[in-house]
């Protein structure tokens, strides 16, 4: 099926946005989708964990602050359960219709958080990710890079707390370093944007990258 899926995927364009907490990627996802719509593209804006009714139920389980006893393996599999549903119910149908799909987080989040953050073996995570996605990868990934202190500070400003945000600063530092390693290994797919800049400048940089990739 993997080959068939890859062939189908060629119709649409698949973008994932990644980064630690507080980088502004959710705002950037919205700005990018508005820009693409202005340019005449059909766009689906979605997020992980979530994007579907089932996915959102799994999201609640994953992020609930009472679920501190969740094992790392249960966490890894739940993110991927939500992802499998997201892919089959939303992402693949949209790509098959030739749409641009923008997802706020995808498989690199799992490598960064569960792999580099929690310390689960990276190869194991990649193979579980592959099972959930049937090997499908984004055409383009934008990594919003920001130092951890600034990110967590920005998040405090919007008063958002979930289970992963209860983790200490060292965890988030490992996640950020992990993201940078992931990007280093896949420079073709992953482009890094400095998220410490103003949101207008960040939006402009994102648009330059996306336009260049869509024209290619
Ligand atoms: P959000 O705050 O960007 O909506 O993401 C929810 C949290 O889930 C965030 O702390 C990152 C985390 N996460 C993982 O740990 N692994 C994953 O695979 C995904 C998609 C998210």
CA pair distance 178, 116, nearest whole angstrom: 5
Q: How far is the CA of 40 from the centre of ligand 1 (A)?
A: 30
CA pair distance 184, 165, nearest whole angstrom: 26
Q: How many CB atoms lie within 10 A of CB 177?
A: 14
Write down the number of H helices and E strands in the chain. 10, 5
Q: How far is the CA of 157 from the centre of ligand 1 (A)?
A: 19
Q: How far is the CA of 104 from the centre of ligand 1 (A)?
A: 9
Q: Mutation test of ligand 1: which of 19, 161, 164, 171 has the most ligand atoms closer than 8 Å to its C-beta?
A: 164
Q: How far is the CA of 62 from the centre of ligand 1 (A)?
A: 9
Q: How far is the CA of 7 from the centre of ligand 1 (A)?
A: 29
CA pair distance 119, 72, nearest whole angstrom: 9
User: Cβ-count burial of 45 within 10 angstroms (0-12 exposed, 13-18 middle, 19+ buried)?
Assistant: buried
Mean pLDDT score, 183-207: 98
User: Cβ-count burial of 187 within 10 angstroms (0-12 exposed, 13-18 middle, 19+ buried)?
Assistant: exposed
What integer pLDDT is reported at residue 203 of this predicted model? 98
The string of pLDDT tens digits covering residues 112-157 is 999 999 999 999 999 999 999 999 999 999 999 999 999 988 887 7
What integer pLDDT is reported at residue 4 of this predicted model? 44
Determine whether the shortest distance from the Cβ of 105 to ligand 1 is under 6 A.
Answer: yes
> Of ligand 1's atoms, which has the minimum distance to the CA of residue 104?
3
Q: Mutation test of ligand 1: which of 24, 28, 49 has the most ligand atoms closer than 8 Å to its C-beta?
A: 49
pTM of the full structure: 0.93
Q: Give the H/E segment covering residue 191.
A: strand 190-194
The string of pLDDT tens digits covering residues 63-88 is 999 999 999 999 999 999 999 999 99
With contact defined as beta carbons under 8 Å apart, do 25 and 82 qualify? no
Determine whether the shortest distance from the Cβ of 79 to ligand 1 is under 6 A.
Answer: yes
């Amino acid at each position: 099926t993997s080959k068939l899926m890859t062939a189908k995927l060629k119709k649409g364009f698949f973008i994932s946005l990644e980064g630690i907490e507080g980088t502004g990627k959710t705002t950037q996802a919205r700005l990018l989708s508005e820009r693409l719509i202005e340019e005449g593209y059909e766009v689906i804006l979605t997020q992980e964990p979530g994007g579907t009714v089932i996915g959102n139920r799994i999201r609640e389980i994953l992020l609930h602050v009472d679920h501190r006893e969740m094992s790392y393996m249960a966490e890894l599999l739940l993110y991927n359960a939500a992802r499998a549903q997201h892919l089959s119910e939303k992402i693949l149908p949209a790509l098959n219709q030739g749409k641009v799909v923008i997802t706020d987080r995808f498989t690199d989040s799992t490598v960064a958080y569960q792999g580099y953050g929690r310390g689960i073996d990276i190869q194991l995570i990649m193979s579980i990710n592959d099972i959930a996605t049937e090997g499908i990868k984004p055409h383009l990934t934008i990594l919003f890079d920001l130092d951890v202190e600034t990110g967590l500070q920005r998040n405090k400003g919007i008063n958002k707390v979930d289970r992963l945000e209860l983790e200490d600063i060292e965890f988030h530092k490992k996640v950020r370093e992990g993201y940078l390693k992931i990007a280093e290994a896949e420079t073709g797919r992953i482009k890094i944007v400095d998220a410490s800049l103003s949101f207008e400048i960040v939006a402009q940089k994102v648009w330059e990258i996306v336009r260049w990739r869509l024209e290619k």
